Amino acid sequence: MSKCKVAVVQAGSIVMNKEKCIKKAVKFILEAGEQRTNIIVFPEAFIPAYPRGMSFGAVVGNRSDSGRDDFLRYSKNSIIVPGPETEQLGAAVKKTGAYTVIGIIERDQETSGGTLYCTTIFFGPDGRLLGKHRKLKPTGSERLIWGEGDGSTLPVFDTPFGKIGSLICWENYMPLARAAMYEKGIQIYIAPTADSRDTWFASMQHIAIEGRCFVLSCNQYCTKDMYEKDLLETEGIQKMPVEITRGGSCIVNPLGEFLVKPVFGKEEILYASLDLDDISRGHFDFDVVGHYARKDVFQLIVNKEKQ
């Protein structure tokens, strides 16, 4: 199919409450489905939160008991993949018949169960969990609370509407990570994020024109009242403005032009109709892994083994 309709859900988490986050996600999935969308995208760490402003009581060389209790809460509100929460989300997705991509915090069940990952999960239109991508490199203080993914979770999925895949937030600043996605033939490039600075939008346009792909960038719109009131380490949150994350979700075509310009200051679903033939039109003069690749000069090696 050369055309599809996409929905980018700009909404905020109910911070540290996975039940409320899932209920909110289901509401937006069904709302987007009513518009006969083919692909639905949610922000980074939508369930149970991107914990902006929270230090978990940690400074260099010291951690607090109350911070450990906040982390315990964060861990308990993170989800197992696959698990009962993904089944609940999948049931909502099945009602829409749309491919759906959701940013979550995943609780590891493969080893000790003690590590959390910033993860993107993918559902097929039948509600089936297709797979996941774990963020390769948590940024800054994110490294305190999230583990690192590996090359075994860098999927690109074939759909009737083109090949879809995802890199999360500042992974999109990693040139070789982008190159790996281009090499897999990504056509609808999904970029869940927590970055709403003006420089982010220039990067989304660059990725679209570099990869000759559509870019769906999805951020939260989050206000201070979305935080649960009984958190223990709140000093950082109290210092933040009422509008904690301003949004800035956008949709870009393969020539780097905005189909939907960044939206600020509200929760909203952004819709756009994509013409996949625009990708071939863009390849006329530039194909980053084809006639413009110079593979006689450059090589990319990706370790896809599970670590």
295 given a catalytic annotation: no
Which one of the listed residues 169, 213, 222, 250 is annotated catalytic? Answer: 169
Query: How many CB atoms are located within 10 Å of the residue 139 CB?
Result: 16
Are residues 276 and 1 in contact, defined by beta-carbon separation less than 8 angstroms? Answer: yes
Which one of the listed residues 18, 24, 44, 85 is annotated catalytic? Answer: 44
Grouping H, G, I as helix, E, B as strand and the rest as coil, residue 217 is: strand
Give the DSSP letter string of 10-67.
E----BT-HHHHHHHHHHHHHHHHHTT-SEEE--TT-BS---TT--TTEETTEE-HHH
Give the DSSP letter string of 137-188.
---GGGGGT-----TTS--EEEETTEEEEE--GGGGG-HHHHHHHHHTT-SE
Instruction: Provide the b/e sequence for 113-125 (b: ≥16 CB within 10 Å).
Output: eeebbbbbbbbbb
34 given a catalytic annotation: no
Cα–Cα distance for residue pair 120/141, rounded to 1 Å: 20
257 given a catalytic annotation: no
Beta strand pairing call for 162-166 and 188-192: parallel
Which one of the listed residues 135, 171, 233, 250 is annotated catalytic? Answer: 135
Question: Nearest-5° angle of CA 86, CA 18, CA 89?
Answer: 25
Cα–Cα distance for residue pair 283/142, rounded to 1 Å: 37
Cα–Cα distance for residue pair 8/102, rounded to 1 Å: 10
Residues that are catalytic: 44, 135, 169
